[in-house]
Structure 1
Amino acid sequence: MECVSGGFSEEQFQKACVELQHFGRAGNDWELLMEHEGFNIYRQQDEPTGLYAYKVFGVLDNCLPAVLADVYMDLDYRKQWDDYVEELYEKECNGKTVVYWQVKYPYPMYYRDYVYVRQRRDLDMDGRKILVVLAQSTSVPQIPERSGVVRVNQYKQSLAIESDGKKGSRVFMYYFDNPGGLLPSWLINWATKGSVPLFLKDLANACQNYPRRA
């Protein structure tokens, strides 16, 4: 899984839309990991690393798609609701906007940091309005690695959202993260298994308290 150097292709946005249109069908090579508060969470092992990629399908009640997408993109607001954020900001580098994100890890582990690009696009797929956000690791000389912090060079996330026809959102999320360092793969997989549902719960709560909620 390589770092991207620029923007995302139309094909990558379309792929996230197709996943949402095939709601809940992850494919035969994906294992159903758990059902959690209305979400189905699937996983597939990445053979080179021994880590898992995740697909998540579900409905967030009482959270409109536009609000959910705004909350996901609002970095300043995330610093209020995400207790694991140590540092988070955007920076213009080489004509593109990149995000720097430093994440707290429990002692004695080193904190992790990410440098990534992300884009949001609102698409019309045969009359269905689908909001898509893509994010993936990148590397820029303006944000070098820091002493005492492990740089995460393999990170990818896709989010596709549409209305559930009521006051909520149907959601598809793809997630892969290799935190690196000396952590064994079994420990990373165990931690991620719990962190994915927790992130969804925190995101839903953040939508309810969003100051610019529609």
Structure 2
Amino acid sequence: MPDVPAGTVYDVLHDSEYRREWDANVIDSHDIARVAANANVGYYAWRCPKPLKNRDVVTLRAWQVEDGYHTIINFSVKHPKYPPRKDLVRAVALLMGYLVRSTGPSSCSLTYLAQVDPKGSLPKWVVNKVSQYLVPQMLKKLHKACVQYPAWKQQHGVNVKPWLYPEQNTLPVLALAELALQHAASLENIDESGLAEAKDEGSDHGGAEN
């Protein structure tokens, strides 16, 4: 990203309120609780291309800024108040994350890692479309959102950034002991393998994690 500072990308990746502005596929995105000064539990639900069922995920997310590197890592957990919903397929994030490296005062590089079990017996054409269209498109939208973020943030709590200032975090505290790893094998594997390939109505579909 030759025209966006690393700090701006980092802020956009954290800001769940702004996510609802730029991510047309988001159904719900919010933080649930904090487990440390630099770790939260969060919920994210997104729309999938028809005729697939929509997905959601509950993750434990940790972050760090050090030596010009901004890191966010998350993986799926079970939260007692967020069981799988009947209207959504609970996906499993095995390991997801972002590494934002500053390359200059107003430029950075972004590395995105996504090891996700979307659940469901998905046909190959779905996987191919995700690889070819949805992820690159999401990153393009993210870049555009980063360019527009400073102006948006000026009108929406310009100094409110709890991911940078832990004292601003008003989420309830949750003990790690109340969480458990979410294993893919522990969830019902909904069979979507019989879906017929729908005509591509454009590539404005898909979703990604918080």
Cα distance per residue 1:120-161 (max 9 Å; x no partner): 20012xxxx111111111111210111121000234222111
**What are structure 1's unaligned runs of at least 5 residues?**
1-59
| Matched residue count | 151
2:25 pairs, out of 78, 81, 84, with 84
Residue identity matched to 2:18: Y
1:93–1:140 Cα contact (<8 Å) kept: no
Distance 1:134 1:122, change over 3 A: same
Matches of 2:147 and 2:59, distance apart in 1: 27
Greater length-normalized contact order (CA 8 Å, ≥ 6 residues apart)? 2
Structure 2 residue runs without a partner (length 5+): 159-210
Alignment of 1:124-203 (within 5 A): 124=67, 129-203=68-142
Partner of 1:122 in structure 2? 65
* Structure 1 position 177, deviation (Å): 1.8
Q: Secondary structure of the equivalent of 1:158? A: strand
2:40 is aligned, of 83, 90, 97, to 97
Structure 2 distance, partners of 1:66, 1:141, is: 34
CA deviation vs aligned residue, 1:155-207 (integer Å, no higher than 9, x gap): 42221112222521122221122211131245224323322211111111001
Structure 1 residue ranges, 4+ long, deviating more than 4 angstroms after superposition: 93-96
Identical aligned residues as a percent: 26
TM-score (norm 2): 0.65
SS at match of 2:129: helix
1: distance between equivalents of 2:75 and 2:33? 16
> 2:137 is paired with a residue of what secondary structure?
helix
> 1:201, 1:77 → 2: CA distance?
16
CA contact (8 A) 1:93 1:142 kept: no
Find the aligned partners of 1:169 and 1:94 in 2 and give their Cα distance. 29
Q: 2:51 aligns with which of 98, 108, 128?
A: 108
The structure richer in strand per residue is 1
Query: What letter matches 2:57 in structure 1?
Result: Y
Structure 2 counterpart of 1:208, which letter?
V
CA distance in 2, matches of 1:116, 1:152: 10
SS of 1:163 mapped into structure 2 = strand
- DSSP 3-state at the match of 1:199: helix
> 1: CA distance between counterparts of 2:35 and 2:100?
30
**Distance in 1 of aligned mates of 2:54 and 2:27:** 9
